[in-house]
Amino acid sequence: MDARERYLLHVCCAPCSPHPLQTLQKQYDVTLYFHNPNIHPELEYQSRLGEVRRMAALEGLPLIVDEYRPDEWLAGAAPWKDEPEKGRRCEFCIDGRLDAAARQAAALGIGRFGAVLSTSSRKDVNMIGRLGKKAAARHDLLFDAADWKKREGAKISVRISGQLGYRRQDYCGCIFSKRDADARRTTRPA
Ligand code: SF4
């Protein structure tokens, strides 16, 4: 039997991943990649990483964890700290993470990569596709611009995450999205 094609999957958290994983594993040998210097604070980073490690063990998949350098990320994102989600700060953030994934895939000799980021309705799927394709072109790879929330994908991920007990979070990841989520919570009518 021919060896299956390898696929590097950038994961931001476990709860966004079940539907992409279920789909991709039918066709590819998947390697998980965790590079999320945006996540704040470090305790939250460790918690999300812990759940991704648990998921990798449950699925029997290799997981590559990149160095956590939040100060560098924060310095780069600071000019856009007051941008809304899906704006220029997210463009900087997603671009960096997808470029790192492309570099990692190229270093491993994996020709195709993707990301579970599009599971979230708070992300701009067109932005993800555009940035992923740019990163792929820089490294001579293919980027899979799937919209993982489509065809009930988000619901499937929520259902499986519930069954597996993956911890869910209520903000995207960075200090600014936490600030905005905290503000939404305090202004919500009782
Ligand atoms: S809101 Fe999410 S995608 Fe946007 S900059 Fe913050 S962590 Fe990154």
What would the pLDDT profile of 82-97 be if each residue is shown by its tens digit?
Answer: 999 999 999 999 999 9
Q: How confident is the model at residue 113 (pLDDT cuts 50, 70, 90)?
A: very high
What would the pLDDT profile of 129-158 be if each residue is shown by its tens digit?
Answer: 999 999 999 999 999 999 999 999 999 999
User: What value does the mean pLDDT take over residues 108-119?
Assistant: 98
How far, in Å, from the CA of 7 to the mean position of ligand 1? 24
Instruction: Give, rounded to a whole angstrom, the gap between the first and last alpha carbons of the chain.
Output: 60
Q: What is the pLDDT of residue 187?
A: 79
What lies within 8 Å, CB to CB, of 116 at 6+ separation is 9, 10, 11, 12, 16, 17, 20, 148
Do the beta carbons of residue 155 and residue 8 sit within 8 Å?
A: no
Q: Using the atom order of ligand 1, give the atom closest to the CA of residue 86.
A: 4
Name the token pair of 107.
């270093």
Return the residue whose CA atom lies nearest to atom 3 of ligand 1.
90
Asked if the bond preceding 41 is cis, omega within 30° of 0, the reply is yes
What would the pLDDT profile of 32-63 be if each residue is shown by its tens digit?
Answer: 999 999 999 999 999 999 999 999 999 999 99
Q: What is the pLDDT of residue 2?
A: 65
6-187 is classed in which CATH architecture? 3-Layer(aba) Sandwich (3.40)
Beta-carbon-side half-sphere exposure of residue 42 (alpha carbons within 13 Å): 5
- Helix H, strand E, coil C: the string for 106-133 is HHHCCCEEEEHHHHCCCCCHHHHHHHHH
How far, in Å, from the CA of 95 to the mean position of ligand 1? 11
* C-alpha distances in Å from residue 13, one per residue of 34, 106, 138: 8, 22, 26
**Does position 1 have pLDDT exceeding 60, yes or no?**
no
C-beta of 44 in contact with ligand 1 (< 6 A): no
Per-domain residue ranges for the chain? 6-187
